[in-house]
């Protein structure tokens, strides 16, 4: 009985082997390798085989060596298409014949194929190299832009470590782009890593010395690290290099000087902010506050504010009658007996009625 079972098992195995061999003889085998424009194998790419007879598609993936292989492909004419891991079509071959019981090898060597195509089109070798270099640069830029967007998303979510990781990767890939160092500085600043932020901003400024926002944010990093003199220098540099936004930069300088108790210098900074942007309401308010710090007391015990204090506070109320400092401005004016000159919120006088006849 045992001998019969063994005989049956052997026969079953032989039948399976015969079936596989027969199936292989009824179909074909395809294989090949892939090589990208950088000369390296393309890992995780897709090779699509589309039958030109039936339209049926077969998709294969490349392995760690950039190769692909498949048995059981129906014989006939096929279009072989190589697609990147992100789905971008890289190259294709048309009318490839898969033979019955045979092995068809189709290799995708992009540098070789592009060179052949360029030669056929009359493009010189030097021109082809320029095209390839431009393609590589475009791909690199796409990758850097993706990292910039990733860092921005992380910063908005408060994920400073993620933002730092993305921008450190970006600056390692290309250290010649000022925007990458600036974004890295922003990420360090949010993470309260001030020395690192200062270093990143300096590298951005070395590449683009006339961008005011770079100087402004470096000034902010200096303030956070207690280097006030350096901060003042950077705010001034920001205003000089970017006059369009000088009002904002001088205002930031005035705020720093106010916090330091340097009210005279702060008033000068706010005056510069106002000269650059006459509608910058907050500059008028803080100028008035700093000027009021120099008030004296008269013989009658009343406060005497320096000339221009009331004008500055009233100008703020004119520009921002319901602004965040509106009530405080009114109280400050009242503290030294100054009139509120803005007409906002005051009841309009009723017209005089004529006498009845």
pLDDT value at residue 7 = 46
Query: What is the Cα Rg of the chain in Å?
Result: 37
Q: Which residues of the chain have pLDDT under 70?
A: 1-25, 121-125, 127-128, 131-132, 342-357
What is this structure's pTM? 0.61
CA distance 205 to 214: 6
pLDDT value at residue 348 = 46
State the DSSP string of 106-122. Answer: --EEHHHHHHHHHHHTT
CA distance 239 to 249: 6
pLDDT value at residue 130 = 72
pLDDT value at residue 345 = 44
State the DSSP string of 241-275. Answer: H-GGGHHHHHHHHHHHHHHHT-HHHHHHHHHHHHH
Quick one: residue 308, left, alpha or beta (phi over 0 = left, psi -120 to 50 = alpha)? left
Q: Torsions phi, psi of 94, nearest 5?
A: -110, 150
State the DSSP string of 134-159. Answer: HHHHHHHHHHHHHHHHHHHHHHHTT-
Helices (H), the chain: 2-26, 110-120, 125-156, 160-173, 178-190, 194-207, 212-224, 228-241, 246-260, 263-276, 281-292, 309-319, 326-335
- Count CB-CB contacts under 10 A for residue 239: 25
Superfamily of domain 26-110: Immunoglobulins (2.60.40.10)
Cβ atoms of 248 and 217 within 8 Å: the answer is: no
CA distance 255 to 293: 15
pLDDT value at residue 127 = 67
Helix axis angle for 125-156 and 178-190, nearest 10°, is 20
Q: Torsions phi, psi of 182, nearest 5?
A: -65, -45
pLDDT value at residue 349 = 52
CA distance 226 to 288: 26
Domains of the chain, residue spans: 26-110, 130-190
CA distance 92 to 66: 16
Sign of CA dihedral 81, 85, 87, 88: negative
pLDDT value at residue 9 = 52
Instruction: Tell me the two tokens of residue 45.
Output: 């790419």
CA distance 229 to 248: 19
In tens, the pLDDT along 255-281 reads 999 999 999 999 999 999 999 999 999
């Amino acid at each position: 009985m045992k001998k019969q079972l063994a005989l049956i098992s052997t026969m079953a195995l032989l039948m399976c082997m015969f079936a596989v061999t027969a199936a292989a003889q009824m179909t074909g085998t395809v294989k090949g390798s892939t090589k990208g424009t950088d000369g390296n194998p393309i890992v995780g790419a897709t090779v699509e085989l589309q039958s030109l007879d039936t339209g049926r598609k077969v998709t294969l993936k490349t392995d760690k060596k950039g190769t692909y292989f498949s048995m059981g492909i129906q014989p006939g004419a096929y279009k072989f298409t190589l697609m990147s891991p992100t789905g971008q079509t890289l190259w294709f071959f048309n009318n490839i014949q898969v033979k019955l019981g045979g092995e068809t090898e189709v290799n995708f060597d992009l540098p070789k194929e592009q060179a052949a195509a360029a030669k056929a089109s009359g493009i010189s070798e030097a021109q082809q190299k320029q095209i390839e270099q431009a393609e590589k640069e475009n791909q690199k830029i796409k990758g850097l832009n993706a990292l910039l967007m990733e860092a921005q998303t992380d910063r908005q979510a408060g994920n400073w470590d993620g933002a730092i990781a993305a921008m450190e990767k970006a600056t390692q890939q290309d250290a010649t782009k000022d925007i990458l160092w600036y974004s890295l500085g922003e990420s360090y600043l949010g993470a309260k890593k001030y020395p690192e932020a200062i270093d990143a901003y300096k590298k951005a400024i070395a590449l683009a010395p006339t961008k005011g926002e770079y100087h402004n944010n470096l000034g902010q990093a200096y303030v956070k690290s207690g280097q006030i003199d350096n901060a003042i220098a950077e705010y001034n540099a920001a205003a000089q290099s970017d006059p369009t936004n000088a009002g904002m930069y001088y205002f930031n300088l005035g705020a720093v000087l106010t916090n330091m108790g340097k009210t005279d210098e702060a008033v000068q900074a706010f005056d510069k902010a106002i000269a650059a942007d006459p509608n910058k309401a907050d500059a008028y308010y803080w100028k008035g506050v700093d000027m009021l710090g120099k008030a004296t007391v008269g013989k009658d015990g009343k406060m005497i504010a320096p000339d221009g204090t009331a004008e500055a506070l009233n100008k703020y109320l004119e520009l921002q009658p319901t602004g965040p400092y509106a009530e405080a401005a009114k109280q400050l004016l009242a503290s030294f007996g100054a009139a509120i000159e803005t007409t906002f919120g005051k009841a309009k006088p009723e017209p005089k009625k004529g006498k009845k006849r």
